[in-house]
Amino acid sequence: MVGARVSALRGAQACMRLCGARRSASSWSEVLQTAKSTLGSDAASAAQGAAAVSALTHDPLDVVGQDVSAVRHSITTLLGSGQPSLDRIAKYYFAAEGKHVRPMIVLLMAKATNGLSAAWGAQRARAIGEDVDWPMNRETVLNDVNPTAAPPPAPGAPRPLPEQYEPALQHTILPTQRRLAEITEMIHVASLLHDDVIDASPLRRGAPSAPSTFGNKLSILGGDFLLGRASIALARLRDPEVTELMSTVIANLVEGEVMQLRAQESVSERVPVTDLSSTMPSAEELERFWTAYEPQPHADVAPTRRQFQIYLQKTYLKTASLMAKSARSAAVLGGCGEWATQTYAMSAAQRADAAAVCDAAYAYGRHVGMAFQLVDDLLDFRATTEAFGKPSGGADLKLGLATAPVLYAWQELADSPLGTLVARRFGEPGDVEQALELVHRSQGLARTAQLARYHTEAAHKALSVLPASDARAALAQLNEQIVTRVK
Ligand code: FPP
Ligand code: MG
């Protein structure tokens, strides 16, 4: 056990050397223990820890820019179809310049956490030996034709030896983690293809949307095709925990979208999908960002604390879940997950350390995701359509949606007609303009920005559990970029 712990520390130290880590503590485990106790006991020092992480930043594109380009290229290979129209729509949104936030989180989290598990060496050997492109079944049984993929190996051909994958070892990112970054982006883009149909959106990424170019039917089918190919890629990672995490994301995206649809119905219809605490805002968040604010809402008069809670749960499901669960999956594939920690001989302390890494990855992704969507909802009031690359200037209001800025404005201007406008979903002539004016007159945008900033600080705090490295510094910068973005 001691041997395994020492080798884990060697692995962690080797990883930190590879990542260009700058730190003086004698072991990562000590850093972890200090960070855990600091976070648990002393909020002021925890804030300092978070501030220290945010002070050390590094441009994400300097760290994983090339990997992001490789992910983009690989996705178009994964999405080939013999049906020309399907081939075109499946690749359509990947041709435009996106922000690539999700694959960047996965790649950086992989770099920041690889080597931290005592099972890292074994997990790496396994990932290098597994060919993520190797079909699980015979081609004639799969019946899946992809003209842009490499030809399948002859039936019964031996698998290439792991040594042939040696070039991939030059990077700390495993082939399974690269593929995870691709899967994450494919699921995200599938959801955009469906979302642009639901929202009847004419624009995406500064260009005509898929539905306005190819029609609704092909957009829905294109999204389904992306999910099909993402599922194949997921199966080939051969990790049941990651399969469960990423499949749950798809269910969460749909739940979040359904909640949003139902939020446009009457107040009595607005029920949470589930009371699972992991999907809900914490009591502290509710206290600080809703209840404590004056004027206090009457318990039975909208907007209620429950409505705010439901809005935040929807935000987790439709946006934060993907970032949280894919970041956690990156740590799982690096040997911090349940399968690896239960399969290899590890001490209870090593298992606890690995679990803490997974939890930190998840917490980072969750808080970044919450901040991302809050800023998105805020920019809908501030950004221009041209800068945003998609409809803005009250686009959510036009869809009948009351997001955080509206809920806050409504709470503050309780005597204004905002409640009536929300109830009729901004559906009468002049409603959108009046709601825009009221939101701008209130503290709604400032309070939404404060809530987003809170999540940014919480994401920084989660990072302080991990050892310093270029990848961690880049995750910190990405976090800042998300909350300060203007498009
Ligand atoms: C964008 O939100 C949309 C999402 C974050 C998720 C949409 C999810 C679905 C349509 C469920 C189906 C899911 C899959 C995986 C097929 P937005 O409309 O607030 O943002 P926008 O302004 O970018 O459109
Ligand atoms: Mg939309």
Q: How far is the CA of 445 from the centre of ligand 1 (A)?
A: 22
187 lines ligand 1 (CB under 6 A): yes
What angle do the packed helices 101-113 and 321-331 form, to 10 degrees?
A: 30
pLDDT-derived band at 2, boundaries 50, 70, 90:
very low
Residue of minimum CA distance from atom 16 in ligand 1 = 191
Q: Phi and psi (nearest 5°) for 207? A: -135, 165
pLDDT at 265: 57
Predicted local distance difference test score (pLDDT) of residue 362: 97
Closest residue (by CA) to atom 10 of ligand 1? 195
The ligand 1 atom at the shortest distance from the C-alpha of residue 399 is 18
**195 Cβ below 6 A of ligand 1:** yes
The pick from 102, 185, 253, 264 for probing ligand 1's pocket by mutation, whose C-beta has the most ligand atoms within 8 angstroms, reads 253
191 within ligand 1 shell (Cβ under 6 A)? yes
| Closest ligand 1 atom to 223 CA | 16
The residue that leads in pLDDT, 54 or 227, is 227
Lowest mean pLDDT among 169-183, 187-201, 219-233, 419-433: 169-183
Domains and CATH numbers, the chain: 2-20+27-42+58-150+171-484 (1.10.600.10)
- Identify which ligand lies nearest to the alpha carbon of 318: 1
Give whole-number Cα distances, 250 to 163, 312, 323, in Å: 35, 18, 12
Can you give the pLDDT at residue 169?
Answer: 47
Contact of 455 with 367, CB cutoff 8 Å: yes
Residue 254 Cβ inside 6 Å of ligand 1? The answer reads: yes
380 lines ligand 1 (CB under 6 A): no
For ligand 1, the distance from its centroid to the CA atom of residue 260, given in whole angstroms, is 10
Q: Residue 58: phi, psi to the nearest 5?
A: -150, 135
CA 190 – CA 261 distance, rounded (Å): 18
From the alpha carbon of 198, which atom of ligand 1 is closest? 10
User: What is the pLDDT averaged over residues 7-27?
Assistant: 38
- Helix 305-315, helix 404-412: angle, nearest 10: 170
| CA 133, chain centre distance (Å) | 24
The Cα–Cα gap between 364 and 480 comes to 12
Question: pTM for the complete prediction?
Answer: 0.86
Q: Is the CB of 223 under 6 A from ligand 1?
A: yes
Q: Is 38 a residue whose pLDDT tops 50?
A: no
Banded model confidence at residue 25, pLDDT cuts 50, 70, 90: very low
Please check the confidence at residue 296 and state whether its pLDDT lies above 60. no
204 lines ligand 1 (CB under 6 A): no
CA dihedral over 332, 478, 102, 181, signed as positive or negative = negative
* Residue whose CB lies within 8 A of the most ligand 1 atoms, among 191, 205, 219, 264, for a mutation test: 191
Could you give the count of Cα atoms lying within 13 Å of 311 in the half-sphere of its Cβ? 25
Rounded to 10 deg, the angle between the 348-382 and 28-41 helix axes is: 60
Can you tell me the distance from the alpha carbon of 33 to that of 290, in angstroms, rounded to the nearest whole number?
Answer: 33
Given a contact cutoff of 8 angstroms between Cβ atoms, the answer to whether 469 and 14 are in contact is no
Report the separation in Å between the CA atom of 103 and the middle of ligand 1, taken as the mean of its atom positions.
Answer: 17
Atom nearest to 249 CA in ligand 1: 15
- Integer Cα distance of 67 and 60 in angstroms: 11
Q: Which of 411, 443, 405 is nearest to 290 (CA)?
A: 411
- How does pLDDT run across 350-359, given as a tens digit for each residue? 999 999 999 9
CB atoms within 10 A of CB 292: 9
For residue 474, the CA-to-ligand 1 centroid distance in Å is 26
Express each pLDDT in 109-129 by its tens digit: 999 999 999 888 888 888 877
Backbone angles phi, psi at 203, to 5 degrees: -130, 145
Number of helices (H) and strands (E), helices first, in the chain?
24, 2
**What's the mean pLDDT in 365-381?**
96
DSSP per-residue letters across 288-337: IIIITSSSPPPTTSSSPHHHHHHHHHHHIIIIIHHHHHHHHHHHIIIIIS
- pLDDT above 70 as % of the chain: 79
Q: Which atom of ligand 1 is nearest to the CA of 390?
A: 22
- CA of 202 relative to ligand 2 center, distance in Å: 10
- Which residues lie near ion ligand 2 (Cβ < 5 Å)? 195, 199
Ligand 1 atom nearest the C-alpha of 199 is 18
Kindly tell me if the per-residue pLDDT of 423 is higher than 50: yes
Residue 257 has pLDDT above 70, yes or no: yes
Q: How many CB atoms lie within 10 A of CB 217?
A: 10
Query: What is the 201 CA–ligand 2 centroid distance (Å)?
Result: 7
CA distance 49 to 55: 10
- Ligand 1 atom 2: residue of nearest CA: 195
Residue 43 has pLDDT above 60, yes or no: no
Q: Is residue 149 classed as helix, strand or coil in its secondary structure?
A: coil
Atom of ligand 1 nearest to the CA of 187: 15
Which residue puts its alpha carbon closest to atom 11 of ligand 1? 254
**Probe ligand 1: pick from 102, 184, 195, 379, max atoms within 8 Å of CB?**
195
126 lines ligand 1 (CB under 6 A): no
Regarding the beta carbon of 257 and ligand 1, being less than 6 Å apart is answered yes
